[in-house]
Amino acid sequence: MNIKILSANPNLYSTQRLVEAAKKRNHTIEIINHTKCDIVIEKKNPVIFYKGKKLDHTDAIIPRIGASVTFYGTAVVRQFEMMRVFTTTESQALVRSRDKLRSLQVLSRAGLGLPKTIFTNYSRNVKEIVEQAGGAPVIIKLLEGTQGIGVILAETKKAAESVIEAFNNLQARVIVQEYIKEAGGADIRAFIVDGQVVGAMKRQGKEGEFRSNLHRGGTASVIKLTDEEETAALKAARAMGLGIAGVDMLQSARGPLILEVNSSPGLEGIEAATGKDIANTIIKYIERNVD
């Protein structure tokens, strides 16, 4: 097969591992910087050019679209879909997953457990917002934040009100979520490929840090999911329409609570924690879907 990875950074661990796995299975694979693609739209003839070359004879793509270029990256994925090329992440699912508020609404409709979340249109009644989230401490998140950036723990009611007011004045949209104390600064990531959990890890924030992101110094260890956690992760990925997903959950007294469903989950942490060849699993997923 001829596979293309849509990635703006060819040196990333995940990108390199996918290249390695594809070559081991005797596929032709190329890294394409999707931000440098030109899209040609005309009647019944969708075309993509990259560095002056027409991209044809492509069997599958693996989108690794950064959050900052979601709009254009999604347009490129959509163009490949119009060219009848298999994609491991469909364009609509990618758009849905990048919208934090929409994602939570989709997950809520699917009946999944979530931290109580409040979103308002720059409301001046910040005291009521904090109370609606269960009172301090609360988590305040920028809607556009990624990898733990733009996530704040407000430990007191006064601090929470001050932070929300500050973001309102900057016209930065935020969501306010209840703080799950029993999670202890840890979360679980379930890595899903083609409707199966292929690996799971528990991420623990460093001492004094409530965010468990590995990019922020957190550590990861392999974990065996409970039946309830596995069911929730699979249901979340299915609700979001994602064939490949990293489902982040908190362990709480009322069961697993979904934090986020990531459409471009990194491979480095999960492969290191589990010792599994997740990249190879992704290539096999493509093989099952491409004639």
Separation in Å, CA 136 to CA 7, 73, 91, 155, 162: 40, 38, 38, 6, 12
Evaluate whether residue 291 is within a structural domain: no
Separation in Å, CA 291 to CA 29, 60, 77, 130, 288: 17, 10, 20, 53, 8
Facing residues of 188 across strands? Answer: 202, 249
Q: Which of 67-76, 97-106, 144-153 has the lowest mean pLDDT?
A: 144-153
Same domain, 197 and 151: no
Evaluate whether residue 105 is within a structural domain: no
Task: Tell me, letter by letter, the H, E, C secondary structure of the chain.
Answer: CEEEEEECCCCCHHHHHHHHHHHHCCCEEEEECHHHEEEECCCCCCEEEECCEECCCCCEEEEECCHHHHHHHHHHHHHHHHCCCEECCCHHHHHHHHCHHHHHHHHHHCCCCCCCEECCCCCCCHHHHHHHCCCCCEEEEECCCCCCCCEEEECCHHHHHHHHHHHHHCCCCEEEEECCHHHCCEEEEEEEECCEEEEEEEEECCCCCCCCCHHHCCEEEECCCCHHHHHHHHHHHHHHCCCEEEEEEEEECCEEEEEEEECCCCCHHHHHHHCCCHHHHHHHHHHHHCC
Same domain, 187 and 244: yes
The distance of Cα 165 from the centroid of its chain, to the nearest Å, equals 28
Number of domains in the chain: 3
Residues 284 and 86: beta-carbon distance below 8 Å: no
Q: At residue 32, does pLDDT exceed 90?
A: yes
Q: For 163-190, write each residue's pLDDT tens digit.
A: 999 999 988 888 999 999 988 889 999 9
Q: Using 50, 70 and 90 to split pLDDT, how confident is the model at 81?
A: very high
Q: At residue 86, does pLDDT exceed 70?
A: yes
Same domain, 167 and 197: no
User: What is the predicted pLDDT for the residue at 143?
Assistant: 80
- Calculate mean pLDDT across residues 225-239: 98
Question: Residue 153 sits in a domain of what CATH number?
Answer: 3.30.1490.20
Tell the residue number behind the tokens 């931000």, with chain if given: 35
**Rounded to an integer, what distance in angstroms lies between the CA atom of residue 134 and that of residue 244?**
33
Last residue of a domain, one of 36, 71, 88: 88
Evaluate whether residue 16 is within a structural domain: yes
Q: For 183-227, write each residue's pLDDT tens digit.
A: 888 999 999 999 999 999 999 876 655 565 655 557 889 999 999
Same domain, 124 and 203: no
Same domain, 268 and 186: yes
- Calculate mean pLDDT across residues 28-54: 95
Residues with Cβ < 8 Å from 284, sequence gap 6 or more?
Answer: 25
- Domain extent, residue 147, equals 117-179
Same domain, 193 and 242: yes
Q: For 99-146, write each residue's pLDDT tens digit.
A: 989 999 999 999 999 999 999 888 888 999 999 999 999 999 888 756
Same domain, 71 and 35: yes
Evaluate whether residue 106 is within a structural domain: no
Last residue of a domain, one of 49, 70, 88: 88
- Mean of the per-residue pLDDT values of the chain: 92
Evaluate whether residue 288 is within a structural domain: no
User: What is the predicted pLDDT for the residue at 215?
Assistant: 56
Question: Residue 37 sits in a domain of what CATH number?
Answer: 3.40.50.20
Through-space distance between the first and last CA atoms of the chain, rounded to whole angstroms: 9
